[in-house]
Structure formats: C-alpha cells, structure tokens
C-alpha cells in the first residue's frame, strides 16, 4: 500500500538527512584537508543531491539511473577540460597548465562521496524503508571517520566540548530522521481518504526506539571513550578531557606508550623564591596494584581542596619549618577553570576579576608555603611524626616482595639510619640506572611497573614516581605521588611562564617530621637508546607576548572578586563544571549506566498502570488499570491480542490454550468499564478474579520467564484494552 507525505514534513526529512550526510563529509574531509578543497567537495555534494532529486522525479529505474550517475562526472570533467584548453590557448603559462592538475586533484577523491550521496538520496526518495538502513550506514561511517581521532586535537574540534556537542547533534538528528520517516503529520491510504491516528503511529514508533537509541548512545560513548584514552596518552598518561576543558585524572595507570601534545593550557607567574617549579594538581596517595595510584577523599589524609570556590578561601597553615611565601597567579587558557593548582602547600586561594573579552577562562591567585629545607635540616630526621593510621596509609605498598628486596639492596650500603639518605639513594638509583621513554612497552603479564624495574628499565615520569614511592614505602618511609606541571625556571618571560600539555608531570613527595611533605623528582633525563624525541616544542613567542600584553594592560582590574558581585553566568559555569564531572563519570561506566537506564525505562513504562491502580481513588479505574497491567505481563511473553480479536475472545483463547484463567477477570473488567453500577462487592470479587489469574500465570510460567517477559520491550506501548 503506497504512502504519501505532506510536503512540509517530507522536505524537513530531506533537509535533516542531508545535513547529516554533509556533517559526515566535513569530518571525512578533515583527514585530507591539506590535499582537498572544501568548496569543491561542497559543490560535489550539492550536485549529487540535485541529480538524485532529478533522477527520482524522472522515475528512472535504478540501473539506468546508476549508469547515468557514472557518466555525468566524466561528462563534466570533459567539459571543464575543454574550458581549460580554451583558457590555455588564450593565456598560456604555468597558471593555466596547472588547472588540469588542480581539478583532478579534487575530482577523483570526490567521486566516492558523489556516488554515496546520490545513492543515499535516490534510495531514500524511492524506497522510504531505506531511511532506517541509512541510519545504520551513517553510524558506521561516523565510526570509521573518528576511529583514528583521539587526543587533545580532533581535526575539526579544538577541545572535547565541541567534539561531544557534534556527536550529540549527530545522535539527535538521526533520531529525528527516524521520527520524521515514521511519523508523518498525515498519512493517507491509497484506497480510502481516512487519516491514520498519529497517536497510534507514535506508539508504533516508540515500540522500536528501545533498540535504536541504545545503539546510537553506545556509538557515542565508544567514540568519546576512544577520545578520552587518546587524550590521556597525549597528556603523558596523566591528563584527560572533560566536556569543558582538560584536567588531570584523579588516578593514573601506567601506559605502554604515550605521545606529546603542545597545547597551551595556562599562563603562570610567581613572586618569591623557588628552586624548582612544580605546580601540583592532585595528591595521589591511595594505592591498588591493579588500579595504580589514586586521589583519596578522606579527612585527615588529603585535607587540601582540589577545586576553587567563587570566593577567597583560607587553608589552615600547618606551620611546617623552613617554608617561604610564594605568590602565584594562574591564567587559564584551555584547562578546567574549577581546578586548584598550586605550589607545595597553598594557604590561601583568591579568585580574581576577569575583564571583558578576556582570552582567559579564569584567573585566581594562590599563596603557598614552599619548602626551603635542605640536607642540613633533613638528614638527622629518623621518624615521620604521623599518626598510626596515616603511617599505615602512606607506607602501604601492596606487600610486593620484589619491591621490598630491591629497596633493601639499594639502601643496604648507606650505613645511615636517616631515611633522608635512603630517599636520596632511591631517587639517584632510578635517575642513573633507568632511561626516559615514551614507549615503555607492554608487559606480558600486565604488571607494567615490574616490567619497568626488572626488564625494560625505561619509562616516563609516572613509572619513576610509582617506583620511588613504592620503594620508599616498602622501607617504612611515608611517600605519595603528586601530579601537575613541571615548569622550567629558564622559560620565564617578564616573570610569566607558559604551561603546555607536554609539561604534565608526576613526582614524589616524602613526609619529614616538622618539615612536612618534601618534593623529589626521580625521573631520568637520559633518553632510552634508539629513541629520539624533542621535549620542547616550538616556542610561540608572538602568542605569548600577546597574552602577556593583555594581562599587563588589564593589570589594574586584577582584584579580588567579591562573592556578592559574581555574575550569575559564572556561578552556572562553575556549578556546571561539577555537574559535567559527574556526568563524565557516568559516561565512563556506560557499560553499567546504559543497561540500568534501559531497565529503568522499561520498568517505568510497564509499571505505570500498576502505579495508577495503587493511587487512583475510583474503583472502576483501579480495575481498569490493574487489568491493563495483567495484559502487560501477558504481552511480554508473546501472548499478543490480534486486532480482529475482541477482548473476550482473547481471554478465552488464553484460558483454552495456556490455562491462564483470564476470562473471569476479563468479565469483571468489562463490567467495571460498561455497567451502570459497580458496587464494592464487585470490586472485591474483581480482585479475587485477578489473584486467581495471577496464580495461574505463576503456575504456567516459571519465575525466570516471568522476569524476562517483564523486561521484554516489544509491544510495551501497544493499546491493550
């Protein structure tokens, strides 16, 4: 039976479909944008769409239309070459000689998208059912296009926000295409002029969306997961993308290979002494052999905040000895603006006003107490001064006997009880006996750290930090991993420092009684044999000078931002950051959240009539809703009522073929719906009939089948009674 659509809806469907195809073409083009011309490809796209409409309106058969579509590009190429020949005869020279080459450079790569775009449009116009196949093909194309795209830079998307927004837009457009293809405003039968109920069409459409939507969401989360993994590798195994900007991960694992990215994440300036500049983001003191080191949110262990609030915040100063005041200012470019970064021990964090049209996401000032303790102060300390609980936490190393044995061998000849001397021996041992490498290799048994220490002897900063922390802990020395940025003091320009993604770093902090946590960097500077890479990327002085000039020009506006003066949009942004972090966590465990969401949705759909039965005051309505819920359970097991069957015929069939004792319950349902009176005793008898049906239902079908039937989404939205 042929169907025809209202022009408005048909045109909207046509438009959305081609928006999706053009989106895919743009992203495919991004892989070869240096070689291809986007204007030429856009012209190819428009031409293919127009020819598809023309061939369909002309009612050409498929094979003649396909032959024609193959001849048209060749004919156009011949025509353009004639024009080029004419230009060459009128104006000979290198410019006209290269016209042929420039045309063919784009022509041959454009043939494939030309054919695909024509084919999809022709088939969708000729065969409406093709729209559903096209949805699957589009998802496959998207997967192929983005398969190699991971890291901080998606070719078309400079950061994760736009990437996620593009994928979500693709997902929503695909769902809209399915809705438009399934749900016209008015569908008219060929034989009769009676419109089909849009409600019935909506129920029919929604009955299969349970399958389409989860598949599209799985595709979306899979691509985001690949992007997340690639970004971690590009951040030295330490950083990850959020839906807003980049940030460090609260746990790190040892990767078999990482890369380097030179994305600018922030500017930083300081006032005060500091022999080395380590900007800490997270303290990672928790350890699990399978999980690695992770941030612990527990009072009495890591009491330093990890986010910046919307007003100045003071942190209790533990009054460690040999500490100097260092003031820092952070200017965020491409980093999560809610994150707290600071040197060693921050004691005050002050958000600063940002100016209009600023190049920076956020600006704040940090006052830190930075250790100046040297060998003279630390070498005589032989105890840590921690509580027993803290000592157990900071000395847990997984009871790895190989680690403990190696630590004892390294420190055996020191002859000193000072654990400062032992810490130095472990640090120097790692620095001098191991190599820095971006490709540590994959351990056969999955134990990357053991592979690093006893076999490959090469790794990046996280390997060295893991190793030193666990070696110290195995000797009873409290130690933890810290992650953040290493800044070379020699890169200073007017007291400003660039901080880029490749400066993401991990180091070790060891606790000394009265002096607090002292930083040690065990990473080797010796490059592994056979590897060559440049740690310092090209220095963009022009961009840096422009940013510094902007800061100095607006220096007078860098004052404390009062809580009552905060704009609403800034509050929303900061709160949104926390919300997105939570959503990112949910996305990260999509293999759990998607099934839970699916089961929750199906349960709500199927239980809503039972919920109405419980809360409705009318006894007639209660019987009606309870009967519908009975049919929900029957439908889930495939006991579907055919359109030509009356409700009584259906109940008799179930009684006869399945012994479900549904007829008495159906009689009371019909009485509640159609009789003029329905006294209390009828309601009581109706409930007894329902429980008899329920008992027969349980006797006929075991529990596992009843559960599976309840979770079966098929026909869950059909009209039942």
Query: Residues 697-704: what's their mean pLDDT?
Result: 87
Within 10 Å of residue 178's Cβ, how many Cβ atoms? 20
Residue 393 in tokens: 């936490």
Look at residue 529 in the predicted model and tell me its pLDDT.
86
Look at residue 466 in the predicted model and tell me its pLDDT.
95
Q: Given the DSSP bridges, would you call strands 251-252 and 516-520 parallel, antiparallel or unpaired?
A: unpaired
Residue 399, helix vs strand vs coil: coil
Confidence of residue 459 (pLDDT cuts 50, 70, 90): very high
For 466-482, what is each residue's pLDDT tens digit?
999 999 999 999 999 99
Confidence of residue 196 (pLDDT cuts 50, 70, 90): very low
C-alpha triplet 318, 322, 323: angle, nearest 5°: 60
Within 10 Å of residue 573's Cβ, how many Cβ atoms? 16
Q: In what order do the strands lie in the sheet with 251-252?
A: 251-252, 292-294, 286-288
Look at residue 111 in the predicted model and tell me its pLDDT.
87
Q: Which residues pair with 520 in a beta bridge?
A: 508
pLDDT, mean over the chain: 80
C-alpha triplet 92, 95, 100: angle, nearest 5°: 95
The better pLDDT of the pair 449, 34 is held by: 449
Q: Percentage of residues in the chain with pLDDT exceeding 70?
A: 78
Question: Is the pLDDT reported for residue 91 higher than 90?
Answer: no
Look at residue 58 in the predicted model and tell me its pLDDT.
81
C-alpha triplet 397, 398, 403: angle, nearest 5°: 65
The better pLDDT of the pair 501, 383 is held by: 501
Residue 716 in tokens: 């869950």
What is the Cα–Cα distance from 345 to 371, expressed in whole angstroms? 9
Residue partners of 384: CB distance under 8 A and separation at least 6: 391, 394, 477, 478, 511, 512, 513
The better pLDDT of the pair 562, 134 is held by: 134
Q: At what angle do helices 198-234 and 160-182 cross, to 10 degrees?
A: 160
Domain ranges of the chain: 246-586, 600-711
Q: Is pTM beyond 0.95 here?
A: no
What is the Cα–Cα distance from 683 to 680, expressed in whole angstroms? 5
What is the Cα–Cα distance from 473 to 426, expressed in whole angstroms? 11
């Amino acid at each position: 039976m042929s169907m025809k659509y209202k022009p408005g809806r048909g045109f909207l469907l046509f438009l959305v479909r081609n928006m999706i195809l053009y989106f895919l073409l743009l992203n495919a083009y991004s892989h070869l944008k240096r070689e291809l011309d986007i204007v030429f490809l856009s012209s190819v796209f428009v031409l293919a769409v127009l020819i598809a409409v023309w061939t369909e309106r002309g009612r050409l058969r498929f094979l003649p239309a396909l032959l024609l579509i193959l001849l048209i590009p060749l004919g156009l190429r011949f025509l353009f070459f004639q024009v080029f020949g004419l230009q060459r005869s009128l104006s000979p020279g290198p410019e006209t000689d290269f016209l042929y080459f420039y045309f063919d450079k784009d022509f041959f790569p454009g043939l494939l998208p030309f054919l695909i775009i024509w084919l999809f449009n022709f088939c969708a116009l000729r065969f409406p059912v093709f729209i559903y196949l096209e949805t699957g093909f589009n998802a496959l194309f998207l997967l192929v296009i983005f398969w190699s795209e991971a890291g901080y830079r998606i070719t078309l998307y400079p950061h994760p926000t736009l990437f996620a927004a593009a994928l979500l837009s693709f997902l929503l457009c695909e769902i809209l295409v399915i809705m438009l293809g399934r749900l016209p405003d008015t569908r008219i039968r060929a034989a009769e002029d009676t419109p089909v109920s849009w409600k019935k069409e909506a129920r029919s459409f929604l009955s299969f969306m349970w399958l389409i939507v989860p598949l599209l969401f799985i595709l979306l989360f899979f691509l985001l997961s690949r992007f997340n993994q690639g970004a971690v590798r590009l951040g030295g195994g330490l950083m990850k993308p959020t839906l807003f900007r980049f940030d460090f991960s609260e746990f790190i694992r040892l990767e078999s290979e990482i890369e380097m990215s030179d994305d600018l994440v922030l500017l930083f300036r300081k006032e005060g002494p500091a022999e080395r500049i380590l900007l800490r983001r997270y303290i990672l003191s928790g350890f699990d052999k399978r999980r690695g080191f992770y941030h612990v949110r527990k009072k009495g262990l890591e009491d330093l905040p990890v986010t910046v609030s919307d007003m100045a915040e003071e942190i209790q100063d533990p009054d460690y000895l040999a500490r100097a005041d260092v003031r820092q200012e952070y200017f965020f470019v491409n980093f999560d603006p809610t994150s707290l970064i600071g040197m060693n021990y921050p004691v005050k964090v002050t958000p600063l006003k940002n100016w209009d049209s600023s190049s920076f996401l956020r600006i704040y000032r940090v006052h830190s107490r930075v250790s100046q303790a040297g060998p003279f102060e630390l070498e005589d300390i032989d105890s840590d001064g921690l509580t027993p609980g803290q000592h157990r936490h900071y000395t847990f190393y997984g009871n790895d006997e190989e680690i403990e044995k190696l630590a004892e061998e390294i420190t055996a000849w020191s002859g000193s009880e000072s654990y400062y001397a032992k810490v130095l021996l472990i640090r120097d041992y790692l620095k001098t006996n191991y190599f820095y490498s971006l490709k540590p290799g994959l351990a056969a048994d999955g134990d990357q750290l053991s592979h690093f220490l006893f076999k490959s002897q090469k790794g990046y900063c996280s390997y060295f930090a893991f190793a030193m922390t666990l070696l110290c802990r195995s000797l009873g020395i409290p130690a933890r991993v810290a992650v953040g940025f290493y800044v070379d003091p020699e890169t200073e320009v007017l007291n400003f420092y660039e901080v880029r993604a490749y400066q993401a770093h991990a180091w070790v902090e060891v606790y000394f009684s009265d002096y607090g946590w002292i930083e040690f960097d065990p990473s080797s500077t010796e490059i592994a044999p056979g590897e060559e890479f440049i740690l310092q990327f090209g220095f963009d002085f022009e961009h840096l000078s422009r940013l510094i000039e902007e800061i100095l020009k607006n220096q007078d506006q860098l004052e404390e931002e009062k809580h009552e003066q905060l704009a609403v949009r800034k509050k929303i942004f900061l709160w949104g950051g926390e919300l997105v972090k939570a959503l990112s966590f949910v996305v990260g465990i999509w293999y759990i959240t998607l099934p839970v969401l699916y089961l929750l949705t199906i349960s709500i759909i199927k239980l809503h009539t039972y919920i109405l039965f419980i809360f409705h005051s009318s006894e007639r309505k209660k019987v009606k809703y309870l009967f519908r819920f009975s049919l929900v359970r029957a439908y889930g097991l495939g006991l579907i009522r055919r359109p030509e069957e009356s409700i009584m015929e259906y109940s008799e069939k179930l009684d006869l073929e399945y012994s479900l004792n549904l007829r008495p319950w159906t009689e009371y349902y019909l009485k509640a719906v159609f009789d003029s009176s329905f006294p209390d005793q009828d309601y009581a008898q109706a409930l007894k009939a329902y429980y008899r049906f329920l008992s027969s239902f349980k006797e006929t079908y075991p529990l596992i089948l009843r559960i599976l039937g309840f979770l079966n989404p098929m026909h869950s939205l059909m009209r039942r009674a």
